[in-house]
Structure 1
Amino acid sequence: MFTGQLPDWLKSLSALTVLSLKKNLLNGSLPESLGSLENLRILVLSHNHFFGEVPDLRSLRNLQVFDLEDNSLGPQFPQLGSQIVTLILRRNKFNSAIPDKVSSYYQLQWLDISFNRFVGPFSPSLLSLPTITYLNIEGNRFTGRLFENLSCNDELEFVDLSSNLLSGSLPNCFLSDSKNRVVLYAGNCLATGDESQHPFSFCRNEALAVGILPHRQKPKHASKVVVALSMSGGIIGGITLVGLIFLVVRRVQAKKTTRAPPKSSIAENASTGYTSKLLSDARYISQAMMLGALGLPTYRTFSLEELEEATNNFDASTFMGEGCHGQIYRGQLKNGLLVAIRCLKVTKNHSIHNFMQHIELLSKLRHHHLVSALGHCFECYSDDSIVSRIFLVFEYVPNGTLRSWISGCAGRTLTWTQRIATVIGIAKGIQFLHTGIVPGVFSNNLKITDVLLDQNLAAKISNYNLPLLAENMGKVGSLSSAGSKENNARVKHEDKIDVYDFGAILLEVIVGRPSSSRNLVDVLKDQLQASITFNGAARRIMVDPAVQNAYSDESLKTVMEICIRCLHKNPADRPSIEDVLWNLQFAAQVQDAWQGDSQSSDGSPSRLSNLRAYS
Structure 2
Amino acid sequence: MANPVSTHTYLLLLSTFLHSVHPSHQIQPSQFNALREIQQFLNYPSLISIFNNTWDFCNLEPSPLFTVICYEDNVTQLHITANNGDFPPSLPQNFSIDALFSSISSLQNLKVLSLVSIGLWGPLPATIGKLSSMEILNLSSNYINGFIPLELSYLKNLETLVLDHNEFTGQIPSWISSFNDLAVLGLRNNSLFGPLPISVSRLENLRVLAMADNHLYGEVPNLQNLTNLQVLDLKNNKFGPDFPVLNPNVVTVELRNNSFQSSVPYEALTSYLQLQKLDISINTFIGPFSSSLFALPSIEYIDISDNKLTGKLLHNTTCNEHLVFVNLSSNLLTGDLPECLQQQNNSEKRVVSYGGNCFSKEEQDQHPSNFCHNEALAVKVMPQKLEHEEGKAMGVVGSSLVTGIGGLTVIVGLSYWVFHRRKKGAAMKGASTRLIIEKLSTVNTVKLLSDARYISETMKMGANLPTYRAFALEELREATDNFTHSTIIGEGSLSQIYRGKLADGTAIAVRCLKMRRKHSPPTLTQHIETISKLRHKHLASCIGHCFECCPDDSSVGIIYLVFEYLSNGTLRSSISGNFAGVAGQRLNWAQRIAGAIGIAKGIQFLHTGMIPGVFSNNLKITDVLLDPNFHVKICGYNLPLLAENGGMKFYHITLKNCRANEEEKDDIHDFGVILLEILVGRPIISQNDVMVVKDILQVSNKMDDTARRSIVDPTIIKECSPESLKTVMEICLRCLSNEWTDRPSIDDVLWTLQFAAQLQDPWRLDSHHVHQQSVSLPL
- Shorter chain as denominator, the TM-score bin is 0.5 to 0.7
| Alpha-carbon offset, residue 355 of structure 1 | 1.9
For residue 636 of structure 2, the aligned residue among 463, 473, 482 is: 463
Q: Which amino acid aligns with 2:610?
A: I
Contact 1:407 1:413 in 2 (8 A): yes
Q: Which amino acid aligns with 1:422?
A: G
- Give the direction of change, closer, same or farther, for the CA distance of 1:451–1:32 in structure 2 (3 Å limit): closer
Secondary structure of the 2:718 match is coil
| Alpha-carbon offset, residue 12 of structure 1 | 7.8
Task: Provide the residue aligned with 1:553 in structure 2.
Answer: 722
Q: Distance in 2 between matches of 1:299 and 1:437?
A: 17
Q: TM-score, normalised on structure 1?
A: 0.57
Secondary structure of the 1:515 match is coil
Q: Which amino acid aligns with 1:432?
A: F
Secondary structure of the 1:528 match is helix
Task: Provide the residue aligned with 1:532 in structure 2.
Answer: 701
For residue 268 of structure 1, the aligned residue among 433, 436, 439 is: 439
Q: CA RMSD in A?
A: 4.9
1:398 aligns with 2:570: no
Secondary structure of the 2:448 match is coil
Q: Distance in 1 between matches of 2:409 and 2:437?
A: 15
Q: Distance in 2 between matches of 1:345 and 1:363?
A: 19
Contact 2:378 2:451 in 1 (8 A): no
Q: Which amino acid aligns with 1:263?
A: T
Q: Distance in 2 between matches of 1:31 and 1:579?
A: 33
Q: Which amino acid aligns with 1:433?
A: L
> What does 1:501-516 align with in structure 2 at a 5 Å threshold?
501-516=670-685
For residue 578 of structure 1, the aligned residue among 747, 764, 773 is: 747
Q: Distance in 1 between matches of 2:760 and 2:665?
A: 27
Q: Which amino acid aligns with 1:474?
A: G
| Alpha-carbon offset, residue 273 of structure 1 | 3.9
> What does 1:126-145 align with in structure 2 at a 5 Å threshold?
129=370, 134=375, 136=377
1:422 aligns with 2:595: yes
Task: Provide the residue aligned with 2:688 in structure 1.
Answer: 519
Task: Provide the residue aligned with 2:526 in structure 1.
Answer: 357
| C-alpha distance after superposition, 1:407-433 (max 9, x if no partner) | 224333211221111111111111111
Q: Distance in 2 between matches of 1:127 and 1:386?
A: 43
Q: Which amino acid aligns with 1:454?
A: D
Contact 1:325 1:344 in 2 (8 A): yes
Q: Distance in 1 between matches of 2:497 and 2:409?
A: 33
- Give the direction of change, closer, same or farther, for the CA distance of 1:551–1:380 in structure 2 (3 Å limit): same
Secondary structure of the 2:510 match is strand
Q: Which amino acid aligns with 2:619?
A: L
- Give the direction of change, closer, same or farther, for the CA distance of 1:325–1:559 in structure 2 (3 Å limit): farther
| C-alpha distance after superposition, 1:255-303 (max 9, x if no partner) | xxx999973453433243457874697xxx4xxx1x3221111111111
- Give the direction of change, closer, same or farther, for the CA distance of 1:45–1:298 in structure 2 (3 Å limit): closer
> What does 1:215-614 align with in structure 2 at a 5 Å threshold?
263-264=433-434, 265-269=436-440, 270=444, 271-274=447-450, 278=454, 285=458, 289=459, 291-323=460-492, 326-350=495-519, 354-381=523-550, 388-409=557-578, 410-469=583-642, 472-475=644-647, 492-600=661-769
Q: Which amino acid aligns with 1:503?
A: G
Q: Which amino acid aligns with 1:134?
A: E
| Alpha-carbon offset, residue 66 of structure 1 | 6.9
Q: Distance in 2 between matches of 1:569 and 1:295?
A: 39
Contact 2:409 2:525 in 1 (8 A): no
Q: Distance in 2 between matches of 1:414 and 1:332?
A: 29
Q: Distance in 2 between matches of 1:327 and 1:110?
A: 44
Q: How many residues align?
A: 422
| Alpha-carbon offset, residue 110 of structure 1 | 9.8
Contact 1:352 1:378 in 2 (8 A): no
Secondary structure of the 2:535 match is coil
Q: Distance in 2 between matches of 1:353 and 1:268?
A: 18
Secondary structure of the 1:391 match is strand
Contact 1:110 1:133 in 2 (8 A): no
Secondary structure of the 1:296 match is coil
Secondary structure of the 1:263 match is helix
* Percentage of identical aligned residues: 46
Contact 2:619 2:667 in 1 (8 A): yes
- Give the direction of change, closer, same or farther, for the CA distance of 1:537–1:413 in structure 2 (3 Å limit): same
Deviates more, 1:293-302 or 1:410-419: 410-419
- Give the direction of change, closer, same or farther, for the CA distance of 1:162–1:45 in structure 2 (3 Å limit): closer
The structure with the largest alpha-carbon Rg is 2
> What does 1:208-219 align with in structure 2 at a 5 Å threshold?
none
| Alpha-carbon offset, residue 529 of structure 1 | 0.9
Q: Distance in 2 between matches of 1:110 and 1:385?
A: 46
Q: Distance in 1 between matches of 2:554 and 2:335?
A: 35
Q: Distance in 1 between matches of 2:684 and 2:600?
A: 20
Q: Distance in 2 between matches of 1:331 and 1:127?
A: 36
Q: Distance in 1 between matches of 2:437 and 2:358?
A: 24
Contact 1:301 1:375 in 2 (8 A): yes
Contact 2:700 2:707 in 1 (8 A): yes
Contact 2:455 2:533 in 1 (8 A): no
Contact 1:267 1:301 in 2 (8 A): no
Contact 1:263 1:385 in 2 (8 A): no
Secondary structure of the 1:394 match is strand
Q: TM-score, normalised on structure 2?
A: 0.46
- Give the direction of change, closer, same or farther, for the CA distance of 1:442–1:357 in structure 2 (3 Å limit): same
Q: Distance in 2 between matches of 1:544 and 1:415?
A: 10
Contact 1:329 1:340 in 2 (8 A): yes
| Alpha-carbon offset, residue 371 of structure 1 | 0.4
Q: Distance in 1 between matches of 2:642 and 2:408?
A: 26
> What does 1:30-179 align with in structure 2 at a 5 Å threshold?
33=267, 36=270, 57=290, 59=292, 129=370, 134=375, 136=377
Secondary structure of the 1:294 match is coil
| C-alpha distance after superposition, 1:125-146 (max 9, x if no partner) | 99655777736489xxxxxxxx
| Alpha-carbon offset, residue 554 of structure 1 | 2.3
- Give the direction of change, closer, same or farther, for the CA distance of 1:80–1:259 in structure 2 (3 Å limit): farther
| Alpha-carbon offset, residue 441 of structure 1 | 1.0
Q: Distance in 2 between matches of 1:546 and 1:422?
A: 17
Contact 1:420 1:588 in 2 (8 A): yes
Contact 2:542 2:563 in 1 (8 A): yes
- Give the direction of change, closer, same or farther, for the CA distance of 1:103–1:327 in structure 2 (3 Å limit): farther
| Alpha-carbon offset, residue 593 of structure 1 | 1.9
Higher RCO (CA-CA < 8 Å; seq separation 6+): 1
Q: Which amino acid aligns with 1:272?
A: L
Secondary structure of the 2:710 match is helix
